[in-house]
Amino acid sequence: MQAEIITIGDEILIGQIIDTNSAWMAQQLNAIGIHVKQVSSVADHPADIIVALTLASGRADLILITGGLGPTKDDVTKQTLSVYFGCGLHRDPKVLAHVESIFARNNRPMLEINRRQADVLGKSEVLFNEMGTAPGMWLTHKGKSYVIMPGVPFEMKHIMRERVLPRLRHLDGRQPLWHQTVLTAGIGESFLAEKIADIEGALPPHIHLAYLPKPGLVRLRLTAIGENKEVLKQETAAVAGQLRDRLGDHFLANEDTALEMLIRDFMQQHGLSLATAESCTGGNIARLITALPGSSSMFEGGAITYSNAVKQATLGVKAETLDTHGAVSEQTVREMALGAQALFRVDYAIAVSGIAGPDGGTAEKPVGLVWIAVAGKSGVAAHQFLFGHDRAINIERSSMAALFMLWRLLHAENTE
């Protein structure tokens, strides 16, 4: 079964809001064996909506629509759909009573414009919305199923969970689908593809491999389609095992997770503690870690030592080290890491110093040059990186590189 998602709203197209609805709906549909063929976003204009519906009906068996169900003039979805489906609108008594109860409960006057929220398509089945005033609707037109829902995320999710997904699970045409993710780090997409080319080339036709890169990491997603989900799980697990053996220490996990989560879990399990000393990353590494629930069990604290004076005063970096080698140097990050380890009394400490850009570089130390050190139980590991000229990407790549260095040292010192 093929599905298409259409989100309606000018606010999406001008970038005022991010369309998170489509991603969430696609995840839910994928989990029950419904393949999303396409996702489209269109403006609050009747002609554009009709074009999107016409194209979707030629590609998909199931069309899910969100947005534009409000009571104001800019919300034109219901009126446009009534034209497209050749049916009128009628006021649903149950929905109207629900809307009236909401206004009465909040002691707010109810206008005719608010009563219009109870207007539904004549050919549709109402999908009741306990979380808001705009109901969802389900109808069949020329052999295609259409699900219309409000664009407010928590209202849409409620209708999907309570009204739509239970019904979709019983539709014919669904085909078992399974995804297996392999998380890698420390190797670029092109080098990774070359390293596993023979494994990819030997995949059977019903298993597809996709590369999903981001700064410092590459996710490998295996997608298998067949008749038996348990068989698909076994087949993708076998391929994931081949990839793990081939990738060595570039392999992180057989799941779609984050490197900082793996580090948190490992350090919790082994009773280890961590601190950070950051210059060019400006606290981003500490942010990634402390955003995780339970990080307080392994993270003691961090210092943003941006200036040389603060590096000396807080971490004990020697003035002669800075004068001789500069802030962006192996010698400096080593002293930063050891200083953080001593200051916070932790087992491990990360230190980062670099030139994030877009300016500040020299011929000897160009923009994108970053030194990272990790202090552990048996000493300090340090490494130089040369990234690009984009400041935001340099910060992200530096953070991932530092976490991967920590990950390698943790395994080297704490596993047999």
CATH number at 26 reads 3.40.980.10
Beta carbons of 167 and 146 less than 8 angstroms apart: no
Query: Residue 279 has what pLDDT?
Result: 98
Based on the fold, state whether residues 123 and 34 are members of the same structural domain: yes
Based on the fold, state whether residues 125 and 65 are members of the same structural domain: yes
Based on the fold, state whether residues 133 and 85 are members of the same structural domain: yes
Based on the fold, state whether residues 384 and 278 are members of the same structural domain: yes
Based on the fold, state whether residues 23 and 121 are members of the same structural domain: yes
**Strand-pair partners of 120:** 90
Beta carbons of 224 and 206 less than 8 angstroms apart: yes
Task: Provide the number of structural domains found in the chain.
Answer: 3
pLDDT tens-digit series, residues 267-309: 999 999 999 999 999 999 999 999 999 999 999 999 999 999 9
C-alpha–C-alpha distance, residues 138 and 158, integer Å: 15
> Of 226, 253, 280, which residue constitutes the final position of a domain?
253
Say whether 303 sits in a helix, a strand or coil. strand
Based on the fold, state whether residues 131 and 93 are members of the same structural domain: yes
Spans in the chain with pLDDT lower than 70: none
Report residue 242 CA to chain centroid gap: 26
Tokens 């050919």 found at: 123
The first and second tokens of residue 73, run together, are 């003039």
Tokens 């050749």 found at: 86
Q: How many residues does the chain have?
A: 416
Query: Residue 331 has what pLDDT?
Result: 98
Query: Residue 107 has what pLDDT?
Result: 87
Beta carbons of 26 and 39 less than 8 angstroms apart: yes
Render 117-138 in DSSP notation, one character per residue.
GGEEETTPEEE--TTSS--EEE
Query: Residue 300 has what pLDDT?
Result: 98
C-alpha–C-alpha distance, residues 401 and 386, integer Å: 11
Give the residue numbers spanning the domain of 223.
177-253
C-alpha–C-alpha distance, residues 223 and 225, integer Å: 7
Measured between its terminal Cα atoms, the distance across the chain in Å is 48
**Strand-pair partners of 127:** 136
Query: Residue 416 has what pLDDT?
Result: 73
C-alpha–C-alpha distance, residues 84 and 79, integer Å: 9
Based on the fold, state whether residues 241 and 326 are members of the same structural domain: no
C-alpha–C-alpha distance, residues 263 and 406, integer Å: 8
Based on the fold, state whether residues 285 and 227 are members of the same structural domain: no
Based on the fold, state whether residues 246 and 348 are members of the same structural domain: no
DSSP summary character for residue 52? H
Query: Residue 286 has what pLDDT?
Result: 98
CATH number at 307 reads 3.90.950.20
pLDDT tens-digit series, residues 149-174: 999 999 999 999 999 999 998 888 88
Query: Residue 113 has what pLDDT?
Result: 87
Say whether 101 sits in a helix, a strand or coil. helix
Query: Residue 108 has what pLDDT?
Result: 86
- Strands 2-8 and 35-42, how do they pair? parallel
Render 218-248 in DSSP notation, one character per residue.
EEEEEEEESS-HHHHHHHHHHHHHHHHHHHG
Query: Residue 111 has what pLDDT?
Result: 86
Nearest residue to 149 via CA among 170, 131, 123, 176: 131
Based on the fold, state whether residues 9 and 106 are members of the same structural domain: yes
> Of 230, 253, 276, which residue constitutes the final position of a domain?
253
Annotate 122-135 with b (16+ C-beta within 10 A) or e (fewer): ebbebbebeebbbb
Based on the fold, state whether residues 299 and 369 are members of the same structural domain: yes
Based on the fold, state whether residues 217 and 337 are members of the same structural domain: no
Say whether 180 sits in a helix, a strand or coil. strand
> Of 144, 168, 192, which residue constitutes the final position of a domain?
168
Nearest residue to 217 via CA among 258, 261, 266: 258
Report residue 370 CA to chain centroid gap: 26
Torsions phi, psi for 41 (to 5 deg):
-120, 130
Instruction: Identify residue 252 by its one-letter amino acid code.
Output: L
